């Protein structure tokens, strides 16, 4: 008993002052539908799934670009870009085993039981007409044995069906449709060894492994489904490029009209992958652009005695960790880590007045403000302005100073290029919110 007490006391003594929990990493469903909903009804509904295995970034990156950079004009595209989100964030094929083997039988005690139930419900939703499950596969599938990398045992650069057709009203002729897609995609692929091939696994003829997969579950519920594989021999943005070629060929063929906000080249895909990576904590009280963030962001003012709550600008972004160190992960990659400083929050201030290159503007806290030459935060009675990286001897409140890029110490920027800086507002010891100032014209301001 005495010993027990001692252990308890020791435990109490080492309890951290701040104890925070993070939201559970669950997949998200994004319905990309036309602004004019009547057009949504005119076309079919395509369900795209990415990240069933956590270490296949080509597939989940392409799926997330469908969420962030495509506008659907006719029909609907439903996207689950991060099915196995926890494994994606931990860069593992499957931290609880292979999720793509859990669709025939699964014990209710399986840690992924609920996830599987949820995705099965989406797959079997009456609205869904056709399903694409995106993968990155090893090597290059080929009907013939060419060499160790190109042979029937490989999966990369293939479109997979479980059987030639299923009995359903729309899109049931899987082989015919697949053959069309493959020839359409290959028209844009010069290199013969990189061309797509249709692979029929003939699952119903006794393929015990394939019987447990998502696509086999789908076709047995009268939903046409294809596996799409890009080769793991390529870098992520090239895999995403091939996935998007296949996705667009499907959309065109089945009558889904779309626009995309980048050109379909590997270079532009790489840019698009990193252009919407904002992270907003506590209703935009803290806003960070983590696309090109420094390795470590210090003294980020997080809320005292509260669980971490944030909204991510991209479905593959997540914050992991605890108490005094949080990693910001983007898919399989680590973008930055946040060292928090905990504050009580004050909600009395929503806007600030500031001069941006000489023009007075009213800015809501939680905004990004583009600056060419200089900015000046107008003083607010009772509040203190802290421009992170700017110091003037004897100055406590940094409002009413015209600040140029050269006045701020570069290493305090959010980004590696030293263009984005934090401006934080405090009331006494309480934190009120921040804006990000983004310098767009470094040459002229120095």
Indicate the SS3 state at residue 195: coil
Closer residue to Zn ion in complex, CB, 233/376: 233
- Contact call for residues 230 and 247 (beta carbons, < 8 A): no
Phi-psi group of 163: left, alpha or beta (phi > 0 → left; psi -120 to 50 → alpha; rest → beta): beta
- Nearest distance in Å: CB 167, Zn ion: 27
Q: Where are the alpha helices (DSSP H) in 230-369?
A: 236-254, 266-273
| Angle subtended by helix axes 57-68 and 266-273, to nearest 10 | 70
Closer residue to Zn ion in complex, CB, 158/336: 158
- Nearest distance in Å: CB 368, Zn ion: 37
Q: Is 38 exposed, middle or buried, given 0-12, 13-18 or 19+ CB atoms closer than 10 A?
A: exposed
Longest dimension (CA), the chain: 80
- Contact call for residues 136 and 57 (beta carbons, < 8 A): yes
How long, in residues, is the chain?
A: 446
Closer residue to Zn ion in complex, CB, 59/301: 59
Interatomic CA distance for residues 421 and 405, integer angstroms: 9
Closer residue to Zn ion in complex, CB, 232/329: 232
Closer residue to Zn ion in complex, CB, 239/303: 239
- Nearest distance in Å: CB 135, Zn ion: 3
Binding site for Zn ion (CB under 5 A): 53, 56, 135
- Nearest distance in Å: CB 183, Zn ion: 24
Closer residue to Zn ion in complex, CB, 53/376: 53
Q: Which residue reads 């104890």 in tokens? A: 19
Closer residue to Zn ion in complex, CB, 44/50: 50
Rg over alpha carbons for the chain, rounded to the nearest Å, is: 26
- Nearest distance in Å: CB 55, Zn ion: 9
Q: Which residue reads 């889904």 in tokens? A: 256
- Nearest distance in Å: CB 29, Zn ion: 20
User: For Zn ion, which residue has the nearest CB?
Assistant: 135
Instruction: Count CA atoms within 13 Å of residue 12 on its CB side.
Output: 6
Structure tokens at 327: 């990693």
Closer residue to Zn ion in complex, CB, 47/328: 47
Closest Cα to residue 66, out of 228, 289, 279?
Answer: 228
Terminal-to-terminal C-alpha distance of the chain: 69
- Nearest distance in Å: CB 86, Zn ion: 16
- Nearest distance in Å: CB 227, Zn ion: 8
- Nearest distance in Å: CB 229, Zn ion: 7
Host H or E run for residue 74: strand 70-74
Interatomic CA distance for residues 329 and 180, integer angstroms: 38
Closer residue to Zn ion in complex, CB, 135/419: 135
């Amino acid at each position: 008993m005495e010993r027990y007490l001692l252990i308890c006391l020791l435990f109490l003594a080492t309890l951290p002052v701040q104890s925070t929990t993070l939201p559970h990493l669950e997949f998200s469903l994004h319905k990309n539908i036309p602004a004019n909903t009547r057009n949504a009804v005119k076309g079919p509904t395509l369900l795209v799934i990415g990240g069933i295995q956590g270490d296949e970034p080509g597939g989940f990156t392409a799926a997330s670009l469908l969420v962030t950079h495509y506008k659907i004009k006719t029909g609907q595209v439903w996207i689950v870009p991060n099915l196995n989100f926890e494994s994606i964030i931990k860069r593992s094929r499957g931290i609880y085993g292979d999720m793509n083997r859990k669709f025939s039988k699964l014990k209710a005690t399986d840690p992924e039981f609920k996830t599987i139930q949820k995705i099965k419900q989406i797959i079997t939703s009456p609205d869904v007409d056709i399903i694409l499950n995106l993968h990155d596969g090893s090597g290059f599938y080929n009907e013939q044995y060419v060499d160790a990398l190109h042979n029937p045992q490989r999966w990369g650069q293939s479109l997979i069906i479980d059987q030639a057709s299923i009995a359903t009203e729309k899109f049931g002729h899987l082989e015919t449709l697949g053959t069309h897609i493959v020839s359409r995609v290959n028209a844009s692929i010069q290199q013969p060894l990189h061309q797509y091939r249709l692979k029929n696994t003939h699952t119903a003829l006794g393929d015990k492994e394939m019987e447990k997969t998502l696509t086999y579950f789908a076709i047995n519920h009268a939903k046409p489904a294809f596996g799409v594989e890009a080769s793991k021999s390529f870098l992520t943005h090239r895999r995403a490029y091939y996935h998007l070629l296949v996705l667009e060929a499907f959309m065109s063929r089945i009558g889904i009209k779309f626009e995309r906000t980048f050109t379909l080249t590997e270079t532009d895909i790489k840019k698009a992958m990193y252009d919407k990576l904002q992270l907003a904590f506590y209703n935009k009280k803290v806003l960070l652009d983590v696309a090109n963030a420094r390795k470590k962001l210090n003294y980020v003012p997080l809320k005292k005695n509260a669980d971490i709550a944030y909204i991510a600008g991209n479905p593959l972004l997540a914050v992991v960790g605890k108490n005094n160190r949080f990693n910001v992960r983007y898919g399989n990659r680590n973008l930055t880590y946040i060292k928090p400083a905990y504050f009580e929050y004050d909600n009395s201030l929503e806007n600030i007045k500031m001069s941006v290159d000489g023009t007075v503007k009213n800015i809501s806290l939680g905004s990004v403000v583009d600056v060419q030459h200089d900015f000046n935060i107008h003083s607010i009675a009772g509040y203190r302005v802290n421009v992170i990286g700017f110091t003037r001897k004897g100055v406590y409140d940094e409002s009413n100073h015209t600040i140029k890029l050269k006045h701020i110490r570069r290493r305090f920027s959010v980004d590696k290029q030293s263009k984005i800086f934090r401006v934080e507002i405090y009331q006494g010891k309480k934190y009120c919110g921040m804006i990000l100032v983004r310098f767009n014209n470094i040459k002229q301001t120095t």
